[in-house]
Structure 1
């Protein structure tokens, strides 16, 4: 049986709002972030409408918090969520937690030059490259295909882009160009992708850079 994957990103965090690079470090969800995952969970419950599924998520704090909210809407006990390390966000290694790309480029112009020369294969100091992420996401996606059925996946911006790119057979450049929404999620089914917008209630927020 073919697999259907509902792919969600965690809600906005305080570091998303300020433009800080998270990698595998963590920051809590903002009020807007909580509203985003609440809306996504409510919308997803309508799509599933009693269909059986498994729920799996990255074990980082922001995805645990997001998955917990989504699970309530889906009637899933938090203890029943599967946590998979392969779904963790790309780590920037020494640069996890840096205030933004400008800070890296200003302090480490040699690293910026290396990244710009080969963005896909550039590996951050003590971190990962996009290829590294693809290498760990590929077997996860293959397992979903082999199992068939419906999978609800709560993960991260880069991880989700890489997974979508793999599923759709996109080039590296096309994968980089994909969006990373927090007010929508994606359904991967029958070799195609559908973007599902969610209605997020108005919430006080500041301008975000990422």
Structure 2
């Protein structure tokens, strides 16, 4: 088997931190669970993914964060799953160990001014750091796809920023185009669908400002 028919990506459902950001200074980010709504969102996403798979097997790669594992559990894909692999390179962007919500809010304002791709959180990562590890993960995927017994579909259970950066790497989007994109909502699904020797994204990411994939810093109105 070569590349899969579909590369399906799903963001985790609503987490407890989406409701109460103060939880970040009590619980490590990777241990924050889903809410009941998050579980329901993931179950609904599972119905969509099962329809997309149409009885075919899928190889699953899941972020090691609790909310990603709980999302995968709620997807309830059953015997459609050929194998499940924990993949740390699909984790959330690292912001800090135990996060101070007020300090993180200040840093988010700085990130909005500086740019999401290059701004590095203190004690954490920049978007470009996540891009680098996603690029490394893609190399692993291509090796896995060369196996003759690989399932005909791939599923990534991950995080919103990671999904955008995976597509940026795959489609060779520019940094400026990445900056124009919003994260998908909780438990939203995006799929790279194979056809005519190429992949296409089934549903585009929403944009908060107009840009196209080839837009560069030279086209930015914020040039100094």
- TM-score, normalising length from structure 1? 0.76
Answer yes or no: is 1:194 the counterpart of 2:202: yes
Which secondary structure state, in structure 1, belongs to the residue aligned with residue 101 of structure 2? coil
Uncovered stretches (5+) of structure 2, i.e. residues with no partner:
146-151, 205-224
User: What residue is the counterpart of 1:201 in the other structure?
Assistant: none
Higher relative contact order (CA 8 A, sep 6+): 1
Uncovered stretches (5+) of structure 1, i.e. residues with no partner:
197-210
User: What residue is the counterpart of 1:133 in the other structure?
Assistant: 130
Asked whether the 8 Å contact 2:117–2:127 carries over to 1, the reply is yes
Answer yes or no: is 1:150 the counterpart of 2:118: no
User: What residue is the counterpart of 2:99 in the other structure?
Assistant: 97
Once the two structures are TM-superposed, the CA of residue 56 in structure 1 deviates from its matched residue by 1.1
After superposition, what is the alpha-carbon deviation per residue over 1:141-166, rounded to whole angstroms, capped at 9, x for unaligned?
23324433421110011111111221
Answer yes or no: is 1:61 the counterpart of 2:66: yes
Which secondary structure state, in structure 1, belongs to the residue aligned with residue 132 of structure 2? helix
After superposition, what is the alpha-carbon deviation per residue over 1:168-198, rounded to whole angstroms, capped at 9, x for unaligned?
22112322314322253011133310139xx
Which stretch shows the higher mean deviation, 187-196 or 26-35? 187-196
After superposition, what is the alpha-carbon deviation per residue over 1:95-144, rounded to whole angstroms, capped at 9, x for unaligned?
x533367x632xx6xx9557733542222112111111011011212332
Asked whether the 8 Å contact 2:14–2:187 carries over to 1, the reply is no
Tell me: CA distance 1:48–1:76, structure 2 relative to 1, closer, same or farther (3 Å): closer
Aligned length: 188
Once the two structures are TM-superposed, the CA of residue 24 in structure 1 deviates from its matched residue by 3.8
User: What residue is the counterpart of 1:202 in the other structure?
Assistant: none
Q: Distance in 1 between matches of 2:51 and 2:155?
A: 13
- TM-score, normalising length from structure 2? 0.72
User: What residue is the counterpart of 2:53 in the other structure?
Assistant: 48
User: What residue is the counterpart of 1:170 in the other structure?
Assistant: 173
Q: Distance in 2 between matches of 1:55 and 1:113?
A: 35
Once the two structures are TM-superposed, the CA of residue 16 in structure 1 deviates from its matched residue by 1.1
1:180 to 179, 184, 207: 184
User: What residue is the counterpart of 2:218 in the other structure?
Assistant: none
Which contiguous aligned blocks of 4+ residues in structure 1 show a shift greater than 4 angstroms?
Answer: 19-23, 111-115
Which secondary structure state, in structure 2, belongs to the residue aligned with residue 56 of structure 1? strand
